[in-house]
Structure 1
Amino acid sequence: MRSVMGYMSGEIEKRVAALLSEEGYAWPEPRNVTVEQPSRMEHGDLATNAAMKLAPVLRRSPISIAEALKPHLESIPLVDRVEVAPPGFLNFFLDWNEWAAFSEKDDSSHDRFQKKVVVEHTSINPNKAAHIGHLRNSCIGDTLARMLKRIGYRVEVHNYIDDLGNQVADTVAGLLDISLQEDYDRFGDYCWDIYTRVHRSTDDEQLKRRRAEILHALEEGNNNIAWIGTLVAEKIVHEHLEDMARFGIGYDLLVWESDILREGFWAAAFEKLKQSPLFRKETEGPLAGCWVLKQPDAGEKGAEELNPDKVLVRSNGVLTYTAKDIAYHLWKFGLLDKDFRYRPFAGDLWTSSRTGESRPFGKANRVLNVIDRRQEYPQRMVKVALETLGFEEEAANLHHVSYGVVSLSPATAAQLGIDTTDGKPAYPMSGRQGIGIKINELLDRMEAAVEAVRPQKEGIPSREIAAAAIRYYLLRFNLGKEIVFDIDQAVDLQGNSGIYLMYQHARASAILREGEAFLKDGAYRSRRDRAPAVPEHLSPSERALLRHLALWPDTLETATEELNPTSVTAYTYELASLFSSFYNACPVLRAPDPLRSFRLWLTARTRSTLADALHVIGLPAPERM
């Protein structure tokens, strides 16, 4: 892919520097010159504010500077003409024949492949079936990994398994203490109801005592309860992986919390932390006996005002989740003199293990953690730990990708049998209360909904369409926004949905199949990968589609830099909509040559870009629907 904005920025900079040199000026930093696409086509295909940024340097009006720059900028190979607009914008009208040739060249950088990015996502407690809230995390993380890979980074995807947590202890307690004799297809569904019954049938004090006993046994290992916990966790992890695979989500490595503890990762991290004045054992007050990590300048940051100190080791010696997470992140960046052993878990997926072989996992240059916004404080304390240990570069390259939780719309909640007579606008999910929609159950319901609205059954199976519709629905909202999931909206054929995007790809594929058959002389077939001459006068829908196609490399670069998959979904929906408008306004196969050849080429470019974007967001690119 070639970035038209990156190219234009470089060319503008060279020509502006030449003009300044002619007049005896240097270009001061920061330059802050932007290149963007105007929202209105009459204002050009691209525009720059360079003249306005130069006004304080040259002490002239932006309009006069723009007029002086205009002839210099008209020599840029991609530019057809330049217009000056008040108060000093320079608007570029591109030469689309030049762009067609320019865009087909690859200028991918190989430098990025030298840098490894570790993306951690999913990380579901392995104590029951996964629900739709977990799926949002996985869709975001998987899409970020795809984006990073697409622009050239080496990416390693981790799924952290908290097999020593309270939730696993509660499920093990239920399996040992509660009788449940009902018919279930999957173990995770059985544990879903067991977990709920534990919280409904056990008083708080009794549950705390039983949980503490089981947690101690789990952490100690090599006993009956620890083996039961291991079997439960591994069985449910396999089911979680099956669920995620249906949405095109995969991983490179499973990291088990028990391995972090038993392989001495925390002990090594503890020795490092003890060298920091921010990490100390409290001798008095409510935290007496606890090892705590102080948050520097807590008053200024305003977070966790009531307790800016993060407990890492409780007074009874039990580690908190954050303590183990700090050790894990020191390993992620290659800052511990320790490593796991590894063994295959399923297919190409590896798992940390106490026995096995060495593998080149970890040692990241950059780490992304996809965790919901409720975990902002613990994530910040991991960064604080890295900073206090002197690993400031690593701390700067640790990113928490937060997102809003998923609730159910009243209509969807009612379909699940939840009482909605209180008239709430949304219904939050709760594992303890058994309120939520399991991923497999959701997929079954969505498949039925797709079947009900699908006029034809050719092409990819309805279950794949349903999975794509769910995935897109969970991706298209801004990350910080809470999603109120509604089944009917997710399967909407006409709105902003995954089904609509896939249909437009299938439509483009159908046109190209007909085009191949229509052009019996093979003229189009012989040159379909090269642009025919772009007409001198483009229709508004043709030009709008070209302008948007030109933005794909820049959109992907910016979205990846900002860790914002929503920008990619928005681009893809706009591309599908512009193609639909083009299709309705411009006959393709019935157009006379050479216009027909151009429109077939434009259709092919749209299909390839749409397929690329669909792959990045994890949706199929079907030839038929």
Structure 2
Amino acid sequence: MAKLYSAHRVLVEEVRRAFQAALRDIGLEHEVLVERAPGGRGDLTVNFYRILRDANEAVKVAAEAANRAKSSLKFVRRIDVKGGFVNLYIDPGSYGPLVWSAVKEMGENYGYNPHPSPMRVLIEHTSANPVHPLHVGHLRNCVIGDALARLLMARGHRVETHFYVDDVGLQVAYAAYGYEKARGLKRRMKPDHYVGLIYSVVYTVVNVQELDKRRKSAISPEERARIDRELADWLWTAKELMEKDEELFTRISEAVKAEEDPVARIYEINRAYERREEWAVKLVREVTELCITGFKQTLNRLGVRFDYWDWESEVTVWNGLTDEVLRLLKTTGYVRTSEGALIFDAQSLAADNGVRAELGIPRSFAVMPLTLVRSDGTTLYATRDIAYSIWKFRRGVDRVINVIAVQQALVQVQVRLALYALGFLREARNLVHYSYEMVSLPGAKMSGRRGRYITADELIDEAIKRAGQELVKRGLELEAGREVAERVGIGAVKYAMLSVSPSKPLTFSWDKVLDFERNSGPFIQYAYVRARSILRRASGLKPELREGALGEEERRLLFLVGYFPELVAEAADRLKVELLPHYLNELALAFNKYYDEVPVIKAKPREKAEARLALVEMVATTLENGMRLMGVEAPHWM
């Protein structure tokens, strides 16, 4: 016997068939679309204005079809016809046992809703440069990517998650240069924070030195004034960094001054690492692995795991794949040399509207040329991204999803156009840039090069502290509830990151993030704890749901519980992670209203109490499973 994944699908199919048959009886052949009804207009709706072009005919046919279909609808109690809209209200008495069967059968997997054509999907997310700690922007990337992977797995897809370690490039070379100069210093700080401080100090000191050279050679007063302003800004940054760690700053500053040409040395580290020279490999790997150790500590707190850590050097450079890509691109007719640099004329390929249409690139999107190789012979990260994309698809996956900030939209389009030019048409079509906007905290300005950022660790610590303070106000003893505070604090951050559409900027407000009364992680968690509390207190009662035991007061809550697997399917198919927190908020609101208005344990007769207890258990299971899909842990009490 086939598993019952979704009671809602059975309900919708019953309605669709009944109205399809009714239309045939009238002499019409049309596909019937059954949708969730807008608020206050029932549970499901059939829009006959969409089926029939003539409005008058739609009104007439809607009434007749509803009249013919009603006798075939086991799970529908009431039908309202409003013009060309047929609004349907479920029958909790008959639909309840069906939902109960689905929830009981699936248990902790309730919500799993397999796609008829499952795919192999590779998701790359977080992928922060290993030169500073994860900051709040990376945190949004990480939370979105993790939830996306969980949702796609709940849809039956085979998903593998990857972290791309950008160990090639000038940023890492700067960090490696500073790490070499600071060797021997011991610091009791998280390793990624230490690497981030080194990187910021090196970049600042080198920049100050270079600006000072330019100032001395400046001819016009205007140019000198402009350099003076820029230099003053960087000197202020230097002061801030010195205050953080004077010994480290002094060590690196003196080393840079003693170096004849520190910039040349940094570029040499970069070139030598690309050439896989032993000394450079040892140096760069030591500093990047140190930083990644810190990343993993943060990710572990968040409950985020990766299946693979892909080192850029290994998967794109040392294996010759980037060289192969460059060789093949030169044969496409879209590559030229300019002042010693190698350029891919992506804009020429994008001038073909057919190509734009095939790859889903809007006509209004401005495509620019892409520099593949600098004049000094080193490759840029976008060039290596082309090779990395090919490497990903060679793993046998059907789709690759890159969770990358919206600021990288142009590069992602250029990469897809390069794949297209190389003849990787399937790959170009199935490479998805899952973009997200930035996170802002009121009063905070961030710059990794200047060492100014709110780290993910700081945000997590602050969330846990504030959650603990709020829980103490509510009567929780903090010493006994540290685990609860951690789950609530981290859950609050994750919910906040997911509840705003990734396409919209996120302004992080603690008042909203830790609002226990509405639309927040703690609000969902509290509804779950409340449901579990009812179940614990129901001694002597067993959750059981028989035909006809539930009534109108349970209708909305029952419908929402039954809808959960379809919500999971929609969120996964449309790649819309924000649908999940919105749904859980709606379910929590409905449950709290039900809790306030309807007795559960004290309901009479006993059959009614057991049925309502079964509904509460279904709500608890759905909330817990929904939170798990967001990567949020459910507290046992609050």
- Say whether the fold is shared (TM-score over 0.5): yes
Partner of residue 225 from structure 1, selected from 265, 268, 280: 280
Q: Is the 8 A contact 1:5 1:36 kept in 2?
A: no
Residues 210-259 of structure 1: CA distance to partner in whole angstroms, max 9, x if unpaired?
43122112212233233111011112112201211111111100110110
Q: Is the 8 A contact 1:161 1:256 kept in 2?
A: yes
Q: Match for 2:466: what amino acid?
A: A
Q: Match for 2:350: what amino acid?
A: D
- Judged with a 3 Å threshold, the aligned counterparts in structure 2 of structure 1 residues 375 and 53 are, in CA distance, closer, same or farther, namely same
Match status 1:276 vs 2:328 = no
Residues 328-369 of structure 1: CA distance to partner in whole angstroms, max 9, x if unpaired?
1112112xxxxxxxxxxxxxxxxxxxxxxxxxxx21111111
Mapping of 1:42-191 within 5 angstroms? 43-49=41-47, 51-56=48-53, 61-74=57-70, 75-86=72-83, 88-103=84-99, 104-105=101-102, 114-177=118-181, 183-191=187-195
Mapping of 1:13-28 within 5 angstroms? 13-22=16-25, 24-27=27-30
Match status 1:265 vs 2:262 = no
Partner of residue 323 from structure 1, selected from 380, 383, 404: 383
Which SS does the other structure have where 1:233 is aligned?
helix
Q: Is the 8 A contact 2:124 2:163 kept in 1?
A: yes
Match status 1:238 vs 2:293 = yes
* Highest RCO, 1 vs 2 (Cα 8 Å, sep ≥ 6): 2
Task: State the TM-score, normalizing by the size of structure 2.
Answer: 0.81
Q: In structure 1, how many angstroms separate the alpha carbons of the residues matched to 2:603 and 2:98?
A: 26
Q: Is the 8 A contact 1:163 1:229 kept in 2?
A: yes
Tell me the CA shift for residue 616 of structure 1: 0.5
Which SS does the other structure have where 1:371 is aligned?
strand
Q: Match for 2:177: what amino acid?
A: A
Q: Is the 8 A contact 1:47 1:90 kept in 2?
A: yes
Tell me the CA shift for residue 203 of structure 1: 2.5
Tell me the CA shift for residue 26 of structure 1: 4.2
Which SS does the other structure have where 1:594 is aligned?
helix
Partner of 1:532: 546
Q: In structure 2, how many angstroms separate the alpha carbons of the residues matched to 1:22 and 1:492?
A: 54
- Judged with a 3 Å threshold, the aligned counterparts in structure 2 of structure 1 residues 602 and 446 are, in CA distance, closer, same or farther, namely same
Tell me the CA shift for residue 609 of structure 1: 0.6
Q: In structure 1, how many angstroms separate the alpha carbons of the residues matched to 2:598 and 2:115?
A: 42
- Judged with a 3 Å threshold, the aligned counterparts in structure 2 of structure 1 residues 431 and 32 are, in CA distance, closer, same or farther, namely farther
Q: In structure 1, how many angstroms separate the alpha carbons of the residues matched to 2:78 and 2:297?
A: 55
Residues 567-605 of structure 1: CA distance to partner in whole angstroms, max 9, x if unpaired?
101111121122111111112222222332222111111
Q: In structure 1, how many angstroms separate the alpha carbons of the residues matched to 2:142 and 2:180?
A: 31
Q: In structure 1, how many angstroms separate the alpha carbons of the residues matched to 2:267 and 2:28?
A: 73
Which SS does the other structure have where 1:56 is aligned?
coil
Match status 1:510 vs 2:546 = no
Residues 480-502 of structure 1: CA distance to partner in whole angstroms, max 9, x if unpaired?
22222234543333242212211
Q: Match for 2:37: what amino acid?
A: Q
Q: Is the 8 A contact 1:408 1:429 kept in 2?
A: no
Mapping of 1:577-616 within 5 angstroms? 577-592=589-604, 593-616=606-629
Which SS does the other structure have where 1:203 is aligned?
helix
Tell me the CA shift for residue 39 of structure 1: 0.6
Partner of residue 524 from structure 2, selected from 482, 492, 501: 501
Mapping of 1:353-392 within 5 angstroms? 362-392=395-425
Q: In structure 1, how many angstroms separate the alpha carbons of the residues matched to 2:311 and 2:43?
A: 51
Q: Is the 8 A contact 2:14 2:73 kept in 1?
A: yes
Q: In structure 2, how many angstroms separate the alpha carbons of the residues matched to 1:384 and 1:489?
A: 41
Q: In structure 1, how many angstroms separate the alpha carbons of the residues matched to 2:568 and 2:525?
A: 19
Q: In structure 2, how many angstroms separate the alpha carbons of the residues matched to 1:32 and 1:273?
A: 49
Residues 528-566 of structure 1: CA distance to partner in whole angstroms, max 9, x if unpaired?
2x5234556423xx3332232232122211111221111
- Judged with a 3 Å threshold, the aligned counterparts in structure 2 of structure 1 residues 396 and 170 are, in CA distance, closer, same or farther, namely same
Tell me the CA shift for residue 316 of structure 1: 3.1
Tell me the CA shift for residue 447 of structure 1: 2.3
Match status 1:297 vs 2:350 = yes
Partner of 1:482: 505
Aligned pairs, number: 558
| Structure 1: runs of 5+ lacking an equivalent | 335-361, 411-426
Match status 1:438 vs 2:418 = no
Q: Is the 8 A contact 2:92 2:552 kept in 1?
A: no
Q: In structure 1, how many angstroms separate the alpha carbons of the residues matched to 2:597 and 2:28?
A: 50
The share of aligned pairs that are identical, in percent, is 29
- Judged with a 3 Å threshold, the aligned counterparts in structure 2 of structure 1 residues 378 and 211 are, in CA distance, closer, same or farther, namely same
Tell me the CA shift for residue 19 of structure 1: 4.5
The range that moved more, 136-145 or 397-406, is: 397-406
Match status 1:463 vs 2:459 = no
Q: Is the 8 A contact 1:532 1:601 kept in 2?
A: no
Tell me the CA shift for residue 266 of structure 1: 1.6
Q: Match for 2:607: what amino acid?
A: P
Q: In structure 1, how many angstroms separate the alpha carbons of the residues matched to 2:167 and 2:265?
A: 17
The range that moved more, 154-163 or 498-507, is: 498-507
Partner of 1:308: 368
- Judged with a 3 Å threshold, the aligned counterparts in structure 2 of structure 1 residues 222 and 52 are, in CA distance, closer, same or farther, namely same
Match status 1:562 vs 2:574 = yes
Residues 147-196 of structure 1: CA distance to partner in whole angstroms, max 9, x if unpaired?
00112111000000000122211111222346896843222222222222
Q: In structure 2, how many angstroms separate the alpha carbons of the residues matched to 1:163 and 1:380?
A: 23
Q: Is the 8 A contact 1:331 1:363 kept in 2?
A: no
Which SS does the other structure have where 1:35 is aligned?
strand
Task: State the TM-score, normalizing by the size of structure 1.
Answer: 0.83
Tell me the CA shift for residue 140 of structure 1: 0.3
Q: Is the 8 A contact 1:34 1:48 kept in 2?
A: yes
- Judged with a 3 Å threshold, the aligned counterparts in structure 2 of structure 1 residues 276 and 4 are, in CA distance, closer, same or farther, namely farther
Q: Is the 8 A contact 1:112 1:154 kept in 2?
A: no
Tell me the CA shift for residue 138 of structure 1: 0.4
